[in-house]
Structure 1
Amino acid sequence: MNVHSGKLEKFQNHFSRYPILSHTWGEEEDEIHFGDIQKEHLLKTGPGRIKFDGCCRQAKADGFDYVWIDTCCIEKSHHTDYSEAITSMFSWYQTAGRCYAYLADVPDKATSTFDNDFRRSRWHTRGWTLQELLAPQDLIFYSKSWTKLGEKVSMTSMIEEATGIPAQFLDGFRDASVAQRMSWAARRVTTRGEDMAYCLYGIFNVSFPIMYGEGASAAFSRLQEAILQRTPDASILAWGLDLQHEDLLPEPPSTNRYGHILATSPQNFVDCGTVVPWESDLSGQRLDVNSGYYHLQLPLHTTKAGHTFGLLKCYSRSQQRGCIGIPLCKVEQGLETDEFMRPRGSKAVQLFDIDSSHEASNLRIRDLSLSEDIQRFDRRYGYSIEVPASSKLTVFDVYPKDRWDTSKKLGTTGVDFQRDAVQLSWIRLRHNEEQSPDFVVMLELEISSSQAQLKCHLMVASRSMDLDTIAVEIPALPSLSRFTGRERASNGWCNLTVNQTTKRQGGYAIYEISLTELERRQVDFVDITSEIELATWNRRLQSLFEEDLQIGPKANTVARSVLEKQAHIKYKATHLSSMKKELERLPLEVAESKKVLKSLTHQEQRLQEKKSGILQSISTLSERLPMGVGVNRLMQWHNSVAQSLSRTLPAQDADIESIPDEKTRLFMRAIAIGHLGAMEYLSGQLDDATKASTSPAALSTAIKSSNIEALIWLLERGFDVNSQDSDGLTPLGRAAPGGLISVCLLLIQRREDIGLDIDLEGSDGRSPLVLAVINDHVEVVGLLLDGKASISNMDSGADLHALTLAARYGRVEIARLLLDANAALDAEDENGETALTMAASKGHDGVLQLLIDRKANIEATSRNGSTPLTVAAHEGHVRISRLLLNHGANTNARDDDDSTPLHLAARKGHHHVVKLLLDNDADIEAKDRWGFSALAAAAYESFEQTGRLLLERKAYIESSTNDGRTPLIWTAVNGHDHMAQLLVDKGADLGAREVGGRNALEHCLYNEDLATTRVLLGRRLPIDRQDMCFDRAMNIAIAKSFSEVVRLLLREGHGKFTNDETVGFLKYAKEFATDIEDDKAEAMDEIIAMLEDAITPRERVRRYQLHRPSIWEETVQTPPDSVNFLERKNIPYSERQAHTEQSFDIPISEYSERGRTWSPDAPQQSQTSNDHNGKHDDPRWKRKAARYKKSSMNSEQRSRGYPSLQSLQGQHGDAYPPGHYNRDRGPDTLAVDGEKKRQRSSFETPREPNKYPRTC
């Protein structure tokens, strides 16, 4: 077709480059046909015109002058042209310059559902589009609006998912096996059955005459025969492949019936997508057709069970090994023949560990699709019947009649390989008594592995029932075994039994059936008329069930839509009164909803009338059942119905499936899917007690599945609407939190009739209104308020009103509805909190603004005196705090603890809120009941950023709490070193003391907080030594073995500690060293060394001369300025340290005696001692000796022996050991008997001869 002129032009051999359209046909009248173009009748509109115009427009845009469209370029009325077009179609698509694939059911690519829409497109399901996908080299997909979706080469993964064709075959498929190509067409369909074969011409490169009317199966058989003429690929016989049970060989059918060797449709290849020929043998297996037989050569393999398989030269690639076998069996068992058949319904399988080198056998397989006399295969067996003359019985009827020769009283039957698996024949015998029922003999000829076996069954039937009806109905009964195996029967006038014998007559087997009279009346026999009536009613019931299942979902949807529209109208009508801005729009919406509601209501009425008729039929069923069959038989029939429903009704959740009683469980299943017919039937099988006990679960199940019709059915039959289910929820309590508007409206509309308590709480103490508020279902809340639900009901779990709950969860629209319904604006919960306070606490500014607009008390206080601003500041909500301040909230409001909003914000570290409050004139120095200012609170919790902000706003840095602790002391108490650094940097007083006398440094030492201690001692500051009390800190540091702190104190106190003070510290350290734990011994040794190094050289020489006279007598005197002579002599440091210890340590005996006199009130002991005994003064030996000495003291001595850390705690920690600073008396003084006396320590160390050379 010329895209410029819109006319058709015909080409013979040479034609211009053209694009081609691939699409799916719509309605015949919508498409633009060949005649429409010829007549220039292009007035059609609709999908066909959109497709036509879009294709022409795209061809022009791509620079083409011509385009080929099958709807208008093929003259279908001309058979020759039409056949040529179908035969050439594949090549036309293959040689086209471009192919436009128009997907009329796929939206643009930008939509969120594009991937699913593309995969589900109808284009992927049509037979003709398979070749249109594979043939073109340049294929582009377009959406229904002719927007480009993508090219085939870029969408291979999506195409593979949509079609099942592996990506490697989309560019070229000639390497794919026949079975693989067939599998691609297995799930595709065509409008005309024969086209399923014709559309595969190009896929297999074959052609054969087109004959519409021959049937899809015949056309597909001709396609396969044409393929067999071109390729030796044996995979064409691998159809019906079963790979699910790779280790189990499928049993051949119990009755071998003739089947086709070739597949009947592409659907037979659905599981053959991975079947490929052997790579090692490309010769294949050719199959010929001749004289009504298929001739082929196949190796045969017979299993141990006697099953025969023909081995094909192909395998399933998913299995990686073996070969595929097709089941075969001989037509005549036991005969040496080459005639085989493939049993109908048999499956090809993958065989493993099979010797594939079997010698091939020549096989003949009959082609039963050819026209021939098949009767020869059906008439192989006969039967005759003998009736006793005394029984007054005659053969009245037989079925089928063509199997009965009345003149010879001989019937013929046999193996029908074409149709039936089991042959049934019927004989009717009638008594001469007019009122008597008839006898019926059923002859069942069963074939197993081509071996025949006849079974005879005797039963009675009403005269009014035709034998034809009996013959049709009996095989259709659900359990045929119940009517078979009976060989005796009685009709009230005659008692019979049936027997059979077998004899051969020519080539036929003749079964002789003889009837014999019995004297005793039979009780256990089959009345086939009653059984058929029960089966008929069963089918009728099942039909009603199915009809109900079809109508049920639609009726349920319509009913739910009606209720939802009613609820929508109610909500909009309520909304209409409070929203004047939507006044013009809402009436139109309400009117439209009413119009839709009217239509839905009419539809619902019609469906309800039909459904009522179904339910009425089911409810009266028990009255119309035949009663003559007995109670036990009726119970069996009801049980069979229940079993049928058990298969029909899908299993539900664990709660339903755990119900022990089967009928109750089925009843709950029926409720879950809204199967009213099953509910009506099963409810008649349940007693009243069972119904009452299942009432809560039944209603809950109907509500959870939103089955309105099921819920209405339950309510109309009196199920308790105020009961609680296993979760403790009432029906309304179940629907409200789930937002089930239709269920809520239904229950509220019928509350008077069903006795609904709209405010009834569940086991958790929550009413339906409370649950709807919590779960933010606005329309449900509106329905409950219209139904006069109580607004004052509280959530027992949280003691909150509905309005407070709405404020808690930020439900603005629900809060508005509650306020419109006159909810108490300032109602308090048990904690005294109002809705405004709750909104401020949770940070919901929308609800807060609504409450403020409704004039809520902005200064309302809770039980602890907190205002909304106090709560917002505590939680750190900046927007809420700003909103409250803008509406005049008191910035300095105090709660019961005298805390202001600024206190609480600082205590929580909300510096943004702190800044906002300071900007609104908050009192920065306000204190709470414990004396905390905002800065002290921030320091207490170590919020550094908040503290810096307060200090920048000139907060008083020395503000103290009621116990005298400044912010710096609080940082020391709690170990906040970073906050301490900030305060020290801002000039905080390190010497400030609390009421108990401690300062920040002492707290750090008592708490063993070295990090904060480093901060306090890390800077040299001009601090008064008495205020700082370095000596007391030194005592604590020595007692706790903090060598690092001693080093810092010595550095900070340099020039302030006197030599006598340092000597006192040294003495105190050595006293502690004797009884210190081993893990602290190293630190204590380091402290002693540092203190010794801190003593001035002159004092060291003086002490050395005073306490070592024996050494001075034996050695050369060292001048005072040569105190470092040991260092000049290059004596190692360890020996110098030992020498120093020997020079200044107190003897052990004196050490112990003096240790017991360290008290201001104790009498002083002798200052000297000669108890040296020549012992070496090694510190480790001294510690062991001291522990031994201490262990030998009594408890009184030990209690007075050594100073402890507790002895340093008192008024200013004043219980100082000797030689340390005393605030009242000065250094190195003790009060003895009320007098001041200078205390002089005597250091006498046992001499160790020849320790050092005399030159020292």
Structure 2
Amino acid sequence: MRLINVKSFKLEEFLDYKTPPYAILSHTWGDDCEELTFRDVEEGKFDKLSVGWVKFRGSCRQAEKDGLGYVWIDTCCIDKTNLVELSEAINSMFRWYRRASLCYAYLSDVPGEDDPRKHESKFRTSRWFGRGWTLQELLAPKDVRFYNSAWGYLGNKGSMRAVIGKITGVPRQFLLGITELHSASVAQRMSWAAGRDTKRKEDLAYCLLGIFGVTMPMIYGEGGDQAFFRLQEQIMKTTRDDSILAWGLSVDESPISDPGQVTAGRILAAAPSDFANSGQIVSRELSTMSLNSLDLSGGSLRMHLSLLTTSAGQTIGLLNCGPGRDIQQVIGIPLAKVASGSDQYFRPKGCHAVLRSIIAPSASPKLIHIRNDGLSKKSADAYRQYWLYDDEEFAEVNLDLVDVAPRSCWDQERAVIISTIASSNGASHQTLARFRHNEGGSRDFVIVLEFKQQGTCTEAQCCVMICCRNTSLQELTGKLQYVAQKATGKRSASNGLLHLSVTLEFDAQQPMITIKPGALPYPPDDTVDATVELQKLDLKLELVGVLEEKGRSDAEEEELNQRTKVTNNRLEWVKRERETVEDELKKLEERRKMLVEEESNGAQEIRYLSKRQAEIKEQQERTSKRWSHARTRWDELWRIDGDEDGYELERMDDWTLLRWAADKGYVEMVELFLNKGADVAIANKDGWTPLIAASSKGHVDVARLLLAASGANADCKDTKCGQTPLIRAAANGHEAVAQLLLDTGKVDVNSKDNNGRTPLSWAAERGHETVVQLLIEKGADVNVKDKDIRTALSYSAGAGHEAITQLLLRNSATTAWLRETLEGHYHYVSSVAFSPDSKMLASASYDMTVRLWDTATGRLRQTLEGHNDSISSVAFSPDSKILASASTDKTVRLWDTATGRLWQTLEGHDSPISSVAFSPDSKILASASNDITVRLWDTTTGRLRQTLEGHNNGILLSGSGIR
């Protein structure tokens, strides 16, 4: 391998295993006079004004910047005058590019200011992407760096993968070397080269050697077709990949015409462009039989292949490959037999490969031979038969041959009609010959000539009819099957002027039959008039059409009547709803005015109350100070009098005063009494302690002082109702006091009063949501029942506190009560279904809609419209993502539950559908109908998978799904 020293510009030669790190250039060749050659570099002759010098110098400079001492350029490092060296270099090229440390892709037609990210960029239309050799130069190296005409850096293969992928069609995993190239099918790799070209046609094959990992000698002058044929031969020796035959792919099936009109084509492609539509074709797992190699010898391809015969008698070979996105389809190639009973086939010229659905297990592969040349064209002549006619003999009965259908069968120069025997057993080929009587205005005679293949025997037949002169043979040919039945076996006819009889003379040695005309002395018993028969046929078809149209009109009228009825009902309901809404709006407007007035009055009252509160607080502070002063003087006077017993008796009033101060929320007074040693646990005749009094009124600061005092009982109960401070605080909505009591850790959150009611029960009944939330967080039991067997949920719901009711339900409150009444449909509701995750409820109605409801809130989430008649059944997929609805309009519709978008409409039933059900994996949907069938549908594609028949009456599915 020769490399260029980037400093000396000299060529140096290395053995493969001693090659130093090097960069490699990828470029498009200009004119030969513009490129530097091996001799130029050897002799140091550099034309510094040439394009070749720009590429040479730029490569060396860039390699030196990148820390590399050598660079390889194909124009300079290969002696193209040495054919052996050239052949070796071409076979080694992929390996050399793969081993390179860096690859510089120099795009001479991309200007310096170009931005590859823009759609109008010159980068996207560069000649580099259309060159055959650059495919392997793009895929082989790990690091490809792109440069514009001024050697400005554009980006590398990784950073520009999206743009390059769109330009080349090469999938990302192969472009970045994540997946080895041999993992791509032959058809895929060929498709990447489909739009590329090379200066020499043979190079279009040679440039793909590395892509397929094969080698072969270079034979310039052999032609591009032959070079590509040899490439495919080498590929078939190394891989058993049927996709090598998946060329010429078309979405439309091209039927094979009569075998006699078919030209044999090649089984192998002529160029990579034949694979232009095969980029998505991947190989499938091979069966044991298919593991045999593809063997091309003697002009025939030997392979095991499953064969399919279509309803039209066409033979399709099913390859072990197909589109990667659909495993239910395979590639089918058209085939025709070389001769009846032979195992040799050819691929008809002009017939495309097609995609075939795998409906049922195909036949086992069998060994066949497929010709790869035009030799089988001769064998097509074996299907030809010749009808001879003598113009003079027909002239004797005043007849001239004026037309033949098909026209291509008539060889006027040789006075012969050429027909073709169909290769399929039992099939026939018919040719029509039109003879005209010399007398003007008379009807023409039409002779139907037919060959029919029955096993190994060929039977020739004919029949005679008459027709009007303006009846075309093309029209008659198209409808011959309806007319010929009546004319079968009739070899005579009369047009009024001539009573014609026709006989056939066979040649035992040659495929020739002579048509002999004769004049009868009297007319035959029955003459078939093709024109009259066609008129009868047209009339029958017209009558059938009228009946069908009437049936459609009647059905449409019935449907329109039904829809009109439903729409009228809907309009009446809408009108009533509008009137109701208008009434509500009037009431709401009146209510709004009243609330505005009430809000204004309330604001005035708040200002007054705030003012009074401030005045009262000042008064309380003055009273407290006066009280303190009076008590101090009272104590002093009692001590002066020295009556200790009277003093103690008078002090007992302090306990009542402490409870009074706690009830009123006088913090300073409570603190004073506590400092004087007042008993915090003292209670009145009903058992009310100062703490119960403070908790009941919500005086949190007082409660805090009392709880901190010695002897305080945070969970004490009164003697009248058995209520604790926590019950009183919860019942009156004093969240701060409840929080204070719970934080002590000394109260029972589920304590019960004499009626068995808990703090949660009281808070729920009186609508204190924040207190309910606090108690639940602290562990309150939401399902505790009192003496009346009522729970907190019962009290909340009974009082109409919706938010608290929902809060209790979310925290596992149990109830058997009615939770929601869902309204919105304006006709009968026929079916309901819960989603498996219980978050949605679907309802189906005769109003032709499905409604999705939120089970937590009862809100309407979606209204699904699209059916043309009442809906009979709904079902959720197990993952709750799809909803199926069945209707009497004979369709099933699949809906996206998240968006409400219609996903699929499944059509096929002949009667209303009564029920639907999903399979547990959501992949299959079953529909049951009054047409006495069950149909299985693929939920991903919407295709009908199976029709299950056997019931004798309408069907209804039950259960949560199908198995």
**So what's the TM-score if we normalise by structure 1?**
0.35
- Higher gyration radius (CA): 1
**So what's the TM-score if we normalise by structure 2?**
0.44
Structure with the largest fraction of helix? 1
